[in-house]
Amino acid sequence: MKLLGLTGGIGMGKSTAARLLTERGVSVIDTDDLARQIVEPGRPALAEIKQTFGPNLLSADGQLRRDELARKVFADPAALRQLEAILHPRIRELWQAEVKIWREQGRATGVVIIPLLFETDAQSAFDAIVCLACSAATQHERLQQRGWNDEQTQQRLASQWPVEKKIAQSDYVIWTDATMETHAAQIDRILTARGK
Protein backbone atom coordinates (compact mmCIF):
# COMPACT_ATOMS: atom_id res chain seq x y z
CA MET A 1 0.00 0.00 0.00
CA LYS A 2 1.14 3.51 -0.80
CA LEU A 3 0.65 5.69 2.27
CA LEU A 4 0.60 9.45 1.81
CA GLY A 5 0.67 12.07 4.53
CA LEU A 6 -1.26 15.22 3.69
CA THR A 7 -0.62 18.48 5.51
CA GLY A 8 -0.84 22.22 5.05
CA GLY A 9 -1.68 25.41 6.89
CA ILE A 10 -5.08 26.23 8.32
CA GLY A 11 -7.63 27.21 5.71
CA MET A 12 -5.59 25.77 2.85
CA GLY A 13 -8.04 23.16 1.58
CA LYS A 14 -7.46 19.95 3.54
CA SER A 15 -11.18 19.20 3.90
CA THR A 16 -11.71 19.72 0.18
CA ALA A 17 -8.77 17.44 -0.59
CA ALA A 18 -10.25 14.77 1.71
CA ARG A 19 -13.53 14.88 -0.20
CA LEU A 20 -11.79 14.71 -3.59
CA LEU A 21 -9.63 11.78 -2.48
CA THR A 22 -12.63 9.89 -1.08
CA GLU A 23 -14.49 10.43 -4.37
CA ARG A 24 -11.55 8.72 -6.08
CA GLY A 25 -11.81 5.66 -3.89
CA VAL A 26 -8.80 6.52 -1.73
CA SER A 27 -8.94 5.57 1.96
CA VAL A 28 -8.69 8.75 4.03
CA ILE A 29 -8.27 9.48 7.72
CA ASP A 30 -8.59 13.09 8.87
CA THR A 31 -6.90 13.51 12.24
CA ASP A 32 -9.10 16.55 12.96
CA ASP A 33 -12.02 14.08 13.07
CA LEU A 34 -10.06 11.84 15.43
CA ALA A 35 -9.29 14.85 17.64
CA ARG A 36 -13.02 15.51 17.99
CA GLN A 37 -13.80 11.85 18.73
CA ILE A 38 -11.31 11.50 21.57
CA VAL A 39 -12.76 14.41 23.53
CA GLU A 40 -16.36 13.17 23.52
CA PRO A 41 -18.01 12.76 26.94
CA GLY A 42 -16.77 9.72 28.79
CA ARG A 43 -13.45 9.55 26.93
CA PRO A 44 -10.17 9.57 28.92
CA ALA A 45 -8.77 12.54 26.98
CA LEU A 46 -11.73 14.70 28.02
CA ALA A 47 -11.25 13.73 31.66
CA GLU A 48 -7.58 14.65 31.41
CA ILE A 49 -8.42 18.01 29.80
CA LYS A 50 -10.88 18.73 32.61
CA GLN A 51 -8.26 17.82 35.22
CA THR A 52 -5.56 19.92 33.53
CA PHE A 53 -7.53 23.00 32.49
CA GLY A 54 -10.49 23.03 34.88
CA PRO A 55 -14.16 21.99 34.85
CA ASN A 56 -15.32 25.30 33.33
CA LEU A 57 -14.23 23.95 29.93
CA LEU A 58 -17.18 21.54 29.96
CA SER A 59 -20.74 22.55 29.17
CA ALA A 60 -23.67 21.58 31.40
CA ASP A 61 -24.20 18.41 29.34
CA GLY A 62 -20.54 17.38 29.62
CA GLN A 63 -19.41 18.47 26.15
CA LEU A 64 -16.04 20.13 25.64
CA ARG A 65 -16.37 23.87 25.10
CA ARG A 66 -13.98 23.88 22.16
CA ASP A 67 -14.02 27.65 21.58
CA GLU A 68 -13.19 28.31 25.23
CA LEU A 69 -10.36 25.77 25.16
CA ALA A 70 -8.99 27.32 21.95
CA ARG A 71 -9.06 30.79 23.55
CA LYS A 72 -7.09 29.47 26.50
CA VAL A 73 -4.42 27.41 24.72
CA PHE A 74 -3.74 29.59 21.68
CA ALA A 75 -3.04 32.54 23.99
CA ASP A 76 -0.60 30.49 26.09
CA PRO A 77 2.10 28.36 24.41
CA ALA A 78 2.68 26.33 27.59
CA ALA A 79 -1.02 25.46 27.79
CA LEU A 80 -1.01 24.50 24.12
CA ARG A 81 1.90 22.12 24.75
CA GLN A 82 -0.05 20.57 27.64
CA LEU A 83 -3.07 20.02 25.41
CA GLU A 84 -0.96 18.55 22.62
CA ALA A 85 0.62 16.13 25.10
CA ILE A 86 -2.88 14.89 25.95
CA LEU A 87 -4.18 14.67 22.38
CA HIS A 88 -1.35 13.87 19.98
CA PRO A 89 -0.31 10.41 21.28
CA ARG A 90 -3.94 9.26 21.30
CA ILE A 91 -4.56 10.60 17.79
CA ARG A 92 -1.42 8.93 16.45
CA GLU A 93 -2.40 5.60 18.01
CA LEU A 94 -5.80 5.75 16.28
CA TRP A 95 -4.57 6.60 12.80
CA GLN A 96 -1.78 4.04 12.99
CA ALA A 97 -4.32 1.36 13.97
CA GLU A 98 -6.50 2.31 10.98
CA VAL A 99 -3.52 2.21 8.61
CA LYS A 100 -2.69 -1.27 9.92
CA ILE A 101 -6.21 -2.39 8.98
CA TRP A 102 -5.84 -0.85 5.51
CA ARG A 103 -2.63 -2.81 4.97
CA GLU A 104 -4.28 -6.05 6.11
CA GLN A 105 -7.14 -5.38 3.69
CA GLY A 106 -4.73 -4.80 0.82
CA ARG A 107 -5.82 -1.25 0.07
CA ALA A 108 -3.89 0.33 -2.80
CA THR A 109 -3.54 3.84 -1.44
CA GLY A 110 -4.22 5.54 1.87
CA VAL A 111 -3.98 9.15 2.95
CA VAL A 112 -3.70 10.46 6.49
CA ILE A 113 -4.47 14.16 6.87
CA ILE A 114 -2.37 15.63 9.68
CA PRO A 115 -2.29 19.44 9.97
CA LEU A 116 0.70 19.21 12.34
CA LEU A 117 2.43 16.38 10.46
CA PHE A 118 5.93 17.86 10.63
CA GLU A 119 5.40 19.46 14.02
CA THR A 120 4.57 16.01 15.48
CA ASP A 121 7.48 14.37 13.60
CA ALA A 122 5.21 11.91 11.79
CA GLN A 123 6.82 12.17 8.33
CA SER A 124 8.79 8.93 8.57
CA ALA A 125 5.52 6.93 8.61
CA PHE A 126 4.71 7.88 5.00
CA ASP A 127 5.90 7.01 1.52
CA ALA A 128 5.42 10.64 0.46
CA ILE A 129 4.18 13.91 1.92
CA VAL A 130 1.70 16.20 0.14
CA CYS A 131 1.40 19.82 1.27
CA LEU A 132 -1.62 21.96 0.47
CA ALA A 133 -0.89 25.66 0.10
CA CYS A 134 -2.50 28.90 -0.98
CA SER A 135 -1.62 32.59 -0.91
CA ALA A 136 -1.69 34.44 2.42
CA ALA A 137 -4.54 36.60 1.08
CA THR A 138 -6.67 33.57 0.21
CA GLN A 139 -5.91 31.96 3.56
CA HIS A 140 -6.88 35.14 5.42
CA GLU A 141 -10.13 35.39 3.49
CA ARG A 142 -11.02 31.76 4.23
CA LEU A 143 -10.31 32.18 7.94
CA GLN A 144 -12.44 35.33 8.05
CA GLN A 145 -15.27 33.27 6.56
CA ARG A 146 -14.91 30.96 9.57
CA GLY A 147 -15.55 33.96 11.80
CA TRP A 148 -12.01 34.26 13.12
CA ASN A 149 -10.67 37.70 13.93
CA ASP A 150 -7.08 38.78 13.22
CA GLU A 151 -5.88 37.88 16.72
CA GLN A 152 -7.31 34.35 16.53
CA THR A 153 -5.79 33.87 13.09
CA GLN A 154 -2.35 35.06 14.19
CA GLN A 155 -2.40 32.84 17.30
CA ARG A 156 -3.21 29.76 15.26
CA LEU A 157 -0.65 30.56 12.58
CA ALA A 158 1.99 31.01 15.29
CA SER A 159 1.23 27.50 16.60
CA GLN A 160 2.21 25.85 13.28
CA TRP A 161 5.23 25.81 11.03
CA PRO A 162 5.07 28.43 8.27
CA VAL A 163 3.66 26.87 5.12
CA GLU A 164 6.89 27.66 3.25
CA LYS A 165 8.78 25.38 5.64
CA LYS A 166 6.20 22.61 5.14
CA ILE A 167 6.44 23.00 1.36
CA ALA A 168 10.23 22.70 1.49
CA GLN A 169 10.02 19.34 3.28
CA SER A 170 7.17 17.87 1.21
CA ASP A 171 7.36 15.66 -1.87
CA TYR A 172 4.35 17.28 -3.57
CA VAL A 173 2.53 20.60 -3.31
CA ILE A 174 -1.09 21.22 -4.26
CA TRP A 175 -1.85 24.89 -4.84
CA THR A 176 -5.45 25.56 -3.77
CA ASP A 177 -5.94 29.15 -4.91
CA ALA A 178 -7.31 27.97 -8.24
CA THR A 179 -10.58 26.28 -9.21
CA MET A 180 -11.90 23.02 -7.82
CA GLU A 181 -11.09 21.41 -11.17
CA THR A 182 -7.46 22.49 -10.85
CA HIS A 183 -7.32 21.19 -7.27
CA ALA A 184 -8.74 17.84 -8.45
CA ALA A 185 -6.35 17.65 -11.40
CA GLN A 186 -3.36 18.12 -9.09
CA ILE A 187 -4.61 15.29 -6.85
CA ASP A 188 -5.07 13.06 -9.90
CA ARG A 189 -1.49 13.72 -11.04
CA ILE A 190 -0.10 12.80 -7.64
CA LEU A 191 -2.18 9.61 -7.43
CA THR A 192 -1.01 8.62 -10.91
CA ALA A 193 2.61 9.32 -10.00
CA ARG A 194 2.26 7.16 -6.87
CA GLY A 195 0.75 4.30 -8.87
CA LYS A 196 -2.86 4.35 -7.63
Averaged pLDDT for residues 71-76: 90
Q: Shortest CA distance to 66 belongs to which of 44, 86, 49, 52? A: 49
Averaged pLDDT for residues 66-78: 91
Between residues 75 and 172, the one the model is more confident about: 172
* pLDDT score for 158: 79
Rounded to whole angstroms, the Cα distance separating 152 from 140 reads 11
Q: Is 48:86 a contact under the CB 8 Å cutoff?
A: yes
Q: Count the Cβ atoms, other than its own, within 10 Å of residue 121.
A: 10
Q: Is 170:7 a contact under the CB 8 Å cutoff?
A: yes
Whether 32 has a pLDDT exceeding 80, the answer reads yes
* pTM, full prediction: 0.91
Give per-residue pLDDT as tens, 138-191: 988 888 888 888 887 788 877 889 999 999 999 999 999 988 999 999 999 999
Band of pLDDT at residue 196, cut at 50, 70 and 90 = low
Q: Is 6:126 a contact under the CB 8 Å cutoff?
A: no
* pLDDT score for 145: 87
Q: CATH for 2-193, among 3.40.50.10540, 3.30.420.40, 3.30.470.20, 3.40.50.300?
A: 3.40.50.300
* pLDDT score for 140: 85
Whether 99 has a pLDDT exceeding 70, the answer reads yes
Average pLDDT of the chain, as a whole number: 93
